[in-house]
């Protein structure tokens, strides 16, 4: 049976999200249009958390958080990008960058929308990517084997956990 190994607990994850928000703000201090787009359910959770932190730093340049899901390599849109938002820097947000396949499909769709810029942010990343995805902002990098899996548990907002199985 696989043994769960904790990588980061609630308070550390909250600090990581705060740090990521400050990094985004530093790189976009002069930007007037930024839109975070959460990838799948856990990416949306991280995007909402980042948005909450960013509103204290650069609130006047943020659009509401968007959300897309990837199912069977197809994009399921929960939030369309308006023409005004297409002029923004889109920041795709997900919990864990594993192979890069899901992020690649999402980035392809976002790029096809004709956006001004595209960046990515991940709470955690592994080094075993198959698809050419660059993580612009990373909370924590985890050294793993091909058999290991990194999971982000956000089922309880007051007990966040990042762990390895």
Task: Write the pLDDT tens digit of every residue in 25-53.
Answer: 999 988 889 999 999 999 999 999 999 99
Domain chopping of the chain, boundaries: 5-27+37-164
pLDDT of residue 1: 46
pLDDT of residue 2: 64
Q: Over the stretch 62-74, which tens digit does the pLDDT of each residue have?
A: 999 999 999 888 8
Q: Over the stretch 71-129, which tens digit does the pLDDT of each residue have?
A: 888 888 888 888 889 889 999 999 999 888 999 999 999 999 989 899 999 999 987 77
The yes-or-no verdict on residue 151 having pLDDT over 90 is no
The yes-or-no verdict on residue 23 having pLDDT over 90 is yes
CATH of domain 5-27+37-164: 3.40.50.2020
Q: What percent of the chain has pLDDT over 70?
A: 99
pLDDT of residue 22: 97
pLDDT of residue 59: 77
Helix H, strand E, coil C: the string for the chain is CCCCEEEEEHHHHHHHHHHHHHHHHHHCCCCCCEEEEEEHHHHHHHHHHHHHHHHHHHHHHECCCEEEEEECCEEEECCCCCHHHHCCEEEEEEEEECCCHHHHHHHHHHHHCCCCEEEEEEEEEECCCCCCCCCCEEEEEECCCCCCCEEEECCCCCCCEEEEC
């Amino acid at each position: 049976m696989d043994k769960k190994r904790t990588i980061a607990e609630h308070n550390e994850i909250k600090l990581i999200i705060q740090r990521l928000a400050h990094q985004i703000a530093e790189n976009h201090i002069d930007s007037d249009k930024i839109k975070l787009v959460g990838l799948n359910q856990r990416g949306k959770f991280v995007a909402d958390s980042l948005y909450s932190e960013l509103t204290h730093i650069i609130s006047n340049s943020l659009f509401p958080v968007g959300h897309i899901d990837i199912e069977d390599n197809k994009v399921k849109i929960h939030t369309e990008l308006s023409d005004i938002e297409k002029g923004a820097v889109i920041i795709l947000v997900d919990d864990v960058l594993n192979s890069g396949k899901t992020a690649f499909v999402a980035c392809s769709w976002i790029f096809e929308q004709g956006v001004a810029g595209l960046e990515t942010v991940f709470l955690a990343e592994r080094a075993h990517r198959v698809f050419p995805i660059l993580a612009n902002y990373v909370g924590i990098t985890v050294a793993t084997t091909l058999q290991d899996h990194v999971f982000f548990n956000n089922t309880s907002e007051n007990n966040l956990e990042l762990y390895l199985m």
